[in-house]
Structure 1
């Protein structure tokens, strides 16, 4: 089993949020199918089948569509040019709630050396980011939730994650791990913290097209999905560091490894530890776990449904808040070592770890910045 790793990085706070199990507005796409072609997307065949195209995923030669009948679905599944057909699925925010603080991380070291993520583009694939929050700057984004802006956040989860990574170094609130990084809001979760497989794949496709450097996904899905596996690999092959939350079901004993997409080898799987560097009671772990980071009771930016003020912060816990800590740390590394590939950066981070045993390990951000 791989050892888990905790980031003893530079920065102040970070958080995650509770999610709910029921889908609501913007997520009703149960009749959507993801069709992947063996070669290029066959638009002529799709037109012949009467397909309504919702999203295109060029990186994996796939589309999200609705087909007019079950018979047409069956016919499509037998067509020689189609590699696979996958039903849409629900993806949920990986998070919980409450307590603690932040100080298991050494925030001042990176800042004193001048590494704050400058020049690094980070896509936060989540519930959106409240761009009006006074502690956040959002460089751009896209929404895959119908009739919903990427720059609003009815759930608060994405805004909380954004604060962990990029809360500004100013006189209010908190400061993020990489406050100089460029944050991109990729909304794939609705106000209830629920989204679809289609939306997440589309969000990753958008991030690839935008040539971002890092993707953070503080969300989980229980089962392996080929389209999700393929698109995360495409992102990784494109040089992007892909980070995802391990999930918070440990107490239930349902899973022997982290959830997806964290379980994919192309993704850095992140679990949570307490301020005592102990694996959090809720944090999934297993053979695919790569790093752990503080994830209990973390303060970060949040969304007030009625107004936005400098008082809009919340404390929460979960692997959702540990993941952006890792994403922010990679941004620091990228600024410090711009010549390294994503694969080399991943190995560099691993070499900076402090072993906490089979279930937990502590990692410093840049090699030599922490005393082991």
Structure 2
């Protein structure tokens, strides 16, 4: 697909890329000290939303359709660093049709694969092709000190399997309604923030984000399903609407918010459109501040080494890119791959997890594999406080199981939480 989609693709030139992909206005980055945005002649170009981020001053330019020549002239202004399209982002789970009326832990093959719970009637899976969760839980089940931000369609924070593991902004929770009690620029952001609708209610009306949240941290509470982490704080950040659509600028704001509010890991089951320098800078700024970025490789069956998929393919050390595998330990047919650009593989086919309105559903995609890795890394951070992003990424990759069927598709192999925690290396 050529639109920006959850766990799919990108590429950048103003001519061909902008013409072939959906975008809404432009992202403008100003050089340090510029006051260009205050000038009337500049404001007449279109509607500007000024954004002062930790890594520079930006503006979102809308209600304008600039020609390539006009864009070039704008970009060549001595007070502007660059101009790029504000790409449209959409949800793209591979399969969300199977609803589980009576979900059970025994159906969660990604955590414990018996072979019988991971295949079809005539094609069983392969026992042991999972993230080795049960042995890992003998060491740690996580910690409420670890914050994992799910940047997606939001989280249904009313879900009985998630509400015990939700992050809350205590200053706002215990503060005065209608007041920015913690001074972070957002009012009443108790459970996170909704950058799709610009309000403080990141509740999920779609289900994709809630599904990802459940893979990471559904409570071990004898109902529903279990997350990779029994103990965690899940921060809900919404930039994709209930119809599954969002913008690059919303993703940037989400990453900035997660970093500012102390997230250790951001789980990012989205991607697509063309390369964005502003988005790359946001991920780099998060890494510099100590926040890891886990990204979906994409669902277009493509080689990311040959055709980069963003944000997964940005050259930022803090990114961990995840491909999807099935219950036999093979690359899922839809999953992107890359011998150098995809770091690890994790379960991503027919994954049972939480969805909106207290329900459960199976979905497939690198979108589902990504939160498995976010949760596994969360276990490591809980068990070894103070470990650096570089060290954690190295441990994750060097402890993978070198499954021969995945050897040509990634820089390492299948994630194994127990081996990683025990520091068993290949």
TM range (shorter): 0.7 to 0.9
User: Aligned in 2, Cα 1:60/1:271: closer, same or farther, shift over 3 Å?
Assistant: same
RMSD (Å) for aligned C-alpha atoms: 2.7
Matched, 1:47 2:38: yes
Matched, 1:56 2:56: no
Query: Larger relative CO (CA 8 A, sep 6+): 1 or 2?
Result: 1
The answer (yes or no) to whether the contact 2:265–2:291 under 8 Å persists in 1 is yes
User: Aligned in 2, Cα 1:108/1:371: closer, same or farther, shift over 3 Å?
Assistant: farther
- Aligned counterpart in structure 1 of residue 144 of structure 2, from 106, 112, 118: 118
The answer (yes or no) to whether the contact 1:257–1:284 under 8 Å persists in 2 is no
Matched, 1:368 2:422: yes
- Aligned counterpart in structure 2 of residue 275 of structure 1, from 309, 321, 327: 327
Give the structure 2 partner of residue 38 of structure 1: 31
- Aligned counterpart in structure 2 of residue 88 of structure 1, from 80, 86, 89: 86
The answer (yes or no) to whether the contact 2:131–2:415 under 8 Å persists in 1 is no
Count how many residue pairs are aligned between Structure 1 and Structure 2.
Answer: 338
Give the structure 2 partner of residue 358 of structure 1: 408
Structure 2, unaligned runs of 5 or more: 1-5, 9-21, 99-106, 114-129, 168-190
Give the structure 1 partner of residue 382 of structure 2: 335
TM-score normalised over the length of structure 2: 0.73
How far 1:220 moved relative to its partner? 1.1
The answer (yes or no) to whether the contact 2:7–2:272 under 8 Å persists in 1 is no
- Aligned partner of residue 160 in structure 2, secondary structure: coil
**In 2, Cα distance between equivalents of 1:314 and 1:64:** 39
**In 1, Cα distance between equivalents of 2:234 and 2:283:** 19
How far 1:101 moved relative to its partner? 4.3
Give the structure 2 partner of residue 315 of structure 1: 362
- Aligned partner of residue 327 in structure 1, secondary structure: helix
Give the structure 1 partner of residue 348 of structure 2: 295
How far 1:323 moved relative to its partner? 0.2
- Aligned partner of residue 243 in structure 1, secondary structure: strand
How far 1:30 moved relative to its partner? 5.2
**In 1, Cα distance between equivalents of 2:416 and 2:24:** 45
How far 1:82 moved relative to its partner? 1.1
Structure 1, unaligned runs of 5 or more: 1-16, 20-28
User: Aligned in 2, Cα 1:245/1:258: closer, same or farther, shift over 3 Å?
Assistant: farther
- Aligned counterpart in structure 1 of residue 309 of structure 2, from 253, 259, 262: 259
Stretch of structure 1 that moved more, 221-230 or 351-360: 351-360
- Aligned partner of residue 134 in structure 2, secondary structure: helix
How far 1:106 moved relative to its partner? 2.1
**In 2, Cα distance between equivalents of 1:228 and 1:240:** 15
When Rg is computed on C-alpha atoms for both structures, the one with the higher figure is 2
**In 2, Cα distance between equivalents of 1:101 and 1:78:** 54
The answer (yes or no) to whether the contact 2:86–2:247 under 8 Å persists in 1 is yes
- Aligned counterpart in structure 2 of residue 77 of structure 1, from 55, 70, 75: 75
TM-score normalised over the length of structure 1: 0.83
- Aligned counterpart in structure 2 of residue 107 of structure 1, from 133, 157, 164: 133
